[in-house]
Structure 1
Amino acid sequence: MTDVTKKPIDRRQQIVEAAGQSFAMFGYKATTMDLVSKIASVGKGTIYTFFATKEELFNEIMEHLTAELRSLAIRTIDRQKPFFDNLTSVLHELQQFREKHELIVKLSQEVRDIGTPMAKAGIDHLEHAIVGFIKEEVASAVEKGELRPVDPALTALVMLKLYVTMSVDWSKHHEALSQEEIADYATALLQDGLSAK
């Protein structure tokens, strides 16, 4: 018989996962340390050994989520493709992730319905991370001569807002555009501009 050693339980990770579940189910405002301790099956004191406040715990979860978004964006990029093909692919994947991830959906609802400041800060943090990633790609494209010299931060923000407007806002009052239609239109606007040639 082999003596199987038990893998030690990572209490910190257990708490982070439980808090993530709680924030996704109940939102930021309704999540309490008591609730997290019940979901994690640990005493409240154990949580405080790792996280001094609910805000600190929430920020930890948002950092993990930001890293997940960045990883998704990096995996989506194909360095053999032109900048605008990659841009629309990355924006599509990130938008799909944002629409389907339970925590992001719950925080967005909470911001819309009651305007909880920490929920808004969490959503803003994610958007800032996405803009930051696009900014890096814009700066790289400018350096390679794929784009004319532009302000990378402002351009990244405009690109993200344009994509969200076409994929989300437009469909509230019109027939939804397909991924290809959004990609074509965004590329035409951003790459070719609006002036008649």
Structure 2
Amino acid sequence: MAVDRRELIIEAASKSFALFGYKATTMDQIAKIANVGKGTIYTYFINKEELFQEIMNRLIQELKHVAEEALDPKLRFFENLGRVLDRILDFQEEHELAIKLSQEVKEISTQMAHEGIQQIEKAIVGYIQQQVQYAVDKGEIKPCNPEITAYVMLKLFIALTSDWRNTHERLDKKQVAELLRFYLQEGLAP
């Protein structure tokens, strides 16, 4: 059976980026992990940026798959929103590359790490945007700008699950779901 060198390189690069981050990963490291010559990498990828983009594309596809698995067509929009956001957060917290990119952004603010995080956020917002539009079309929620609404939903979720715990006791998933429902579905008006 022939060895798929391209896949070996992608797997090696994924490991290297997850372990060392974007900035500290070198083509020499990737070649060593993949057990190929450095020149072999350049047969498939022009540079480190192109290889990183391939990995980001795969990560985003995997993220979308995770979100799709969380959807239950029998549930209403807000119940599904909580399920999808929970799964996405779990994915990001468990996926080594997402963790390392976040650390790299905080510690040394590497441009490519920023771009990687932005790609992930854009993909999540785009996915939620589709679900918002679908809910509007079904009459489950009021007409709104789906992109802005998706962005606000994601940022509220991040604020409740990540930012809040920086200065307060961590909220559990049930509390987060209740708060999302309160702020987004019920609203503050009496």
- Which range, TM-score by smaller chain? over 0.9
Unaligned 5+ segments in structure 2 are: none
Deviation at residue 153 of structure 1 after TM alignment: 0.2
Q: State percent identity of aligned pairs.
A: 52
Cα separation, 1, equivalents of 2:27 and 2:147: 37
Alignment of 1:9-158 (within 5 A): 9-158=3-152
**Higher Rg of the two aligned structures:** 1
Unaligned 5+ segments in structure 1 are: 1-6
Q: Which amino acid aligns with 1:74?
A: E
Deviation at residue 174 of structure 1 after TM alignment: 1.1
Write out per-residue CA displacement over residues 24-50 of structure 1, whole angstroms, 9 at most, x where no aligned residue: 000000101111000000011110010
Cα separation, 1, equivalents of 2:76 and 2:106: 37
Write out per-residue CA displacement over residues 33-71 of structure 1, whole angstroms, 9 at most, x where no aligned residue: 111000000011110010001000000000000000000
RMSD: 0.6
* SS in structure 2 of the partner of residue 143 of structure 1: helix
Q: Which amino acid aligns with 1:103?
A: L
Q: Which amino acid aligns with 2:16?
A: S
> TM-score, with normalisation over the residues of structure 2?
0.99
Residue 164 of structure 1: aligned partner: 158
Residue 4 of structure 1: aligned partner: none
Match status 1:182 vs 2:183: no
Cα separation, 2, equivalents of 1:185 and 1:66: 27
* SS in structure 2 of the partner of residue 14 of structure 1: helix
Cα separation, 2, equivalents of 1:178 and 1:82: 22
Deviation at residue 99 of structure 1 after TM alignment: 1.2
Cα separation, 2, equivalents of 1:8 and 1:187: 52
Runs of 4+ in 1 over 4 A off after TM superposition: none
Write out per-residue CA displacement over residues 159-185 of structure 1, whole angstroms, 9 at most, x where no aligned residue: 000001001111111111110111011
Cα separation, 2, equivalents of 1:107 and 1:164: 16
Cα separation, 1, equivalents of 2:102 and 2:163: 15
Write out per-residue CA displacement over residues 50-99 of structure 1, whole angstroms, 9 at most, x where no aligned residue: 00010000000000000000000000000000100000111011011111
Aligned length: 190
Report which stretch shifted further, 65-74 or 168-177. Answer: 168-177
Deviation at residue 101 of structure 1 after TM alignment: 1.0
> TM-score, with normalisation over the residues of structure 1?
0.95
Cα separation, 2, equivalents of 1:175 and 1:23: 32
